[in-house]
């Protein structure tokens, strides 16, 4: 696309977003004071505002950070692999070689995320999510093969156009770079003469220029599966443009996949921007800050109260300094003024406001440290409570943020040759699914896992009372496999359907062989009994075999059979 059209569309997006920015700026002032000002033009380091004069109570700041930390630790912990890959085709999942290859790929993706700056940047992303409710993260391949660089983009700089499915169709980022940064990024030959001159002078970092970075789809370009292409043939194009003149800086670049991902806490259908707990809490946050400001004013009067005196009761000036001396006509002429402030009412109202703000961020229900030694059942119930509260938000985070990140890292590693060679069973274009195995996603499935456990326990109890036929109603093998999948049991310790069938065939063959041996042994015992009977009768044809002797021969046959078995 030509630069002029892109800049015109960007200008419309800037105007369109003004209403949302007003609310974001209020949230920034009271809840996220160090996340950037939306209406201030920051031309230098001296223009950065580090003051937070409007904040008199930090309950909302702390609550937003605690909620963000909960999301980070329970969704994308750097200490455990929080996702697993599976084939959409169930036959491939049953193939041991294909499954082993996919597990190795999942581990490679997770290691690549840990080796990159993902953990640090996603933490910034979660903090923006709990405050502004809309976040952007940028992922691209580095210079080294398999290297991946992440960047949590400030919401202030990001604008986008939605595609038919609700994802990003065009992305714009408003950058403010110094002449020195422009020179290092694009080189002297790609800069206007005045900027190039500034970049080589004493004012190289004293001023800033507006630069618009845009990513857009290229018509007719398809994303190849694992093949490397030159930038001009990739599915997404990108360019840097100087805002003052629409002039393109440097060369057009390209991406295989859209490298920017947007996620929302919650969203209404009429708006592409999100809303979250801070949008609801801001009213109580403002009221609490106003209340705390008045409380400080009242407390100042209690600590250093104003004085009252008659018109001529003081001789000279009133001296309120330490060891100060004020001359009065009578000792009763000068007295401090007292106020009937109901401090218990102030404390009660403060506690109510703080509790309400914490409820907006679900702190009381997310905290796992209420008792010194929680049982496993208590912890499990708390995780279930968390997933019920955060279920819809988790779905949006997984769909809009985590799944695209995993897919992008997978493709980058594949193009870099950092993934193992797929086995022959994995055909070109095999579709993959992502299963999240962190505490919160697993807790979402806890009800299903508990239902399987209850059903298996009930079947076992009924079988003990009414006979093993009851177990015919339940496929225990499938139940265990489904329970293992839901609770994120490592696939390495589970047998595939092929292995299970082979194991059962071997067991059946062993049982048939044992039965055959038993039959042969019984036949040998019967033959021995018949032989002894015949010998007895030949020796004494007129006598019958006594019952005691018959019993003895039979017992010998049983012993022979047992020893043979």
Task: Locate 532 and state its tokens.
Answer: 């002894």
pLDDT for res 536? 60
Which residues partner with 266 through β-bridges?
A: 275
**DSSP per-residue codes, 270-309:** T-SS-B-HHHHHHHHHHHHHHHHHHHHHHHHHHHS--EEE
Does 10 score more than 50 pLDDT? yes
- Phi first, then psi, for residue 217 (nearest 5°) are -80, 145
- Residue 564 has what pLDDT? 45
Q: How many CA atoms lie within 13 A of 245 on its CB side?
A: 9
Q: What is the pLDDT of residues 348-380, one digit of tens each?
A: 999 999 999 999 998 877 665 555 555 656 656
Q: Which residues contact 472 (CB under 8 A, 6 or more apart)?
A: none
To the nearest whole percent, how much of the chain has pLDDT over 90? 34
Q: 139 has which bridge partners?
A: 150
For the segment 314-335, the average pLDDT, to the nearest whole number, is: 78
**CA–CA dist 394, 372 (Å, integer):** 28
For the ranges 43-47, 321-325, 396-400, the one whose mean pLDDT is highest: 396-400
Instruction: Tell me the average pLDDT across 114-137.
Output: 94
On the question of pLDDT at 280 being above 90, the answer is yes
Largest interatomic CA distance in the chain: 155
Tens of pLDDT, residues 479-491: 787 777 666 666 6
The beta strands (E) that lie in 267-413 are given as 307-309, 314-315, 327-328, 334-336
Closest Cα to residue 418, out of 113, 84, 81? 113
In this predicted structure, what is the pLDDT of residue 563? Answer: 47
- pLDDT value of residue 457: 83
pLDDT, mean of residues 197-216: 91
Residues 327-341, mean pLDDT to the nearest whole number: 78
pLDDT above 60 for 543: no
CA distance 84 to 103: 7
Mean pLDDT of the chain: 82
Two tokens, residue 66? 């605690």
pTM of the model: 0.75
Cα(288)–Cα(336) distance, integer angstroms: 29
- Residues 45-62: what's their mean pLDDT? 76
pLDDT tens string 419-472: 988 887 776 667 888 888 766 556 656 667 778 888 888 888 888 888 888 777
Altogether, the residues listed in the chain come to a count of 565
> Closest Cα to residue 127, out of 27, 39, 2, 45?
27
pLDDT for 538 beyond 80: no
Q: What is the CA radius of gyration of the chain?
A: 38
């Amino acid at each position: 696309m030509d630069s002029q059209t892109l800049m015109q569309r960007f200008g419309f997006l800037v105007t369109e977003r003004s209403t949302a920015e007003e609310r974001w700026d209020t949230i920034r002032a009271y809840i996220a004071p160090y996340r950037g000002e939306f209406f201030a033009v920051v031309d230098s380091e001296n223009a950065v505002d580090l003051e937070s004069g409007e904040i008199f109570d930090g309950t909302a700041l702390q609550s937003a950070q605690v909620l963000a930390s909960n999301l980070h630790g329970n969704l994308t912990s750097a200490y455990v692999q929080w996702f697993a890959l599976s084939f959409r085709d169930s036959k491939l999942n049953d193939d041991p070689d294909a499954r082993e290859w996919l597990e190795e790929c999942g581990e490679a993706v997770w290691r690549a995320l840990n080796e990159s700056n993902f953990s640090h940047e996603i933490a910034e992303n979660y903090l923006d999510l709990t405050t502004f409710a809309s976040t952007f993260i940028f992922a691209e391949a580095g210079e080294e093969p398999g290297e991946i660089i992440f960047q949590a983009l400030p919401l202030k700089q990001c604008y986008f156009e939605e595609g038919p499915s609700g994802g990003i169709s065009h992305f714009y980022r408003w950058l403010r770079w110094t002449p020195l940064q422009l020179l290092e990024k694009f080189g002297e030959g790609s800069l206007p003469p005045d900027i190039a001159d500034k970049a080589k002078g004493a004012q190289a970092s004293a001023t800033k220029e507006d630069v618009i970075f845009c990513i857009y789809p290229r018509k007719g370009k398809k994303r190849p599966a694992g093949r490397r292409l030159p930038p001009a043939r990739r599915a997404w194009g990108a360019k840097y443009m100087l805002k003052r003149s629409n002039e393109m800086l440097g060369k057009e670049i390209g991406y295989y996949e859209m490298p920017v991902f947007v996620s929302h806490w919650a969203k209404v259908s009429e708006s592409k921007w999100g809303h979250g707990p801070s949008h609801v809490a801001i009213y109580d946050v403002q009221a609490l800050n106003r209340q705390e400001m008045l409380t400080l004013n009242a407390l100042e009067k209690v600590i250093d109260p104003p004085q009252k005196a008659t018109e001529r009761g003081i001789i000279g000036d009133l001296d309120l300094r330490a060891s100060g001396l004020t001359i009065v006509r009578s000792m009763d002429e000068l007295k401090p003024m007292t106020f009937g402030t109901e401090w218990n009412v102030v404390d009660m109202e403060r506690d109510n406001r703080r509790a309400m703000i914490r409820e907006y961020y679900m702190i009381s229900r997310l905290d796992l440290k209420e008792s010194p030694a929680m049982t496993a059942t208590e912890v499990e119930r708390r995780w279930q409570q968390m997933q019920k509260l955060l279920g819809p938000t988790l779905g949006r985070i997984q769909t809009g943020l985590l799944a695209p990140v995993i897919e992008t890292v997978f493709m980058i590693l594949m193009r870099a040759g950092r993934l193992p060679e797929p086995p022959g069973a994995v055909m070109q274009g095999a579709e993959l699914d992502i299963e999240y195995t962190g505490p919160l996603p697993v807790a979402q499935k806890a009800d299903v896992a508990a239902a399987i456990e209850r059903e298996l326990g009930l079947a076992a109890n009924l079988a003990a009372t009414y006979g093993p036929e009851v177990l015919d109603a339940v496929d225990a093998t499938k139940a265990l496999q489904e329970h293992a999948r839901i609770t994120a049991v490592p696939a390495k310790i589970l047998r595939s359907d092929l292995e299970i069938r082979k194991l059962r065939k071997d067991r059946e063959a062993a049982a048939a062989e044992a039965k055959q041996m038993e039959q042969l042994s019984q036949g040998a015992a019967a033959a021995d009994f018949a032989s002894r009977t015949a010998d007895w009768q030949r020796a004494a044809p007129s006598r019958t075999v006594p019952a005691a002797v018959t019993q003895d021969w039979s017992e010998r046959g049983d012993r022979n059979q047992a020893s043979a078995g």
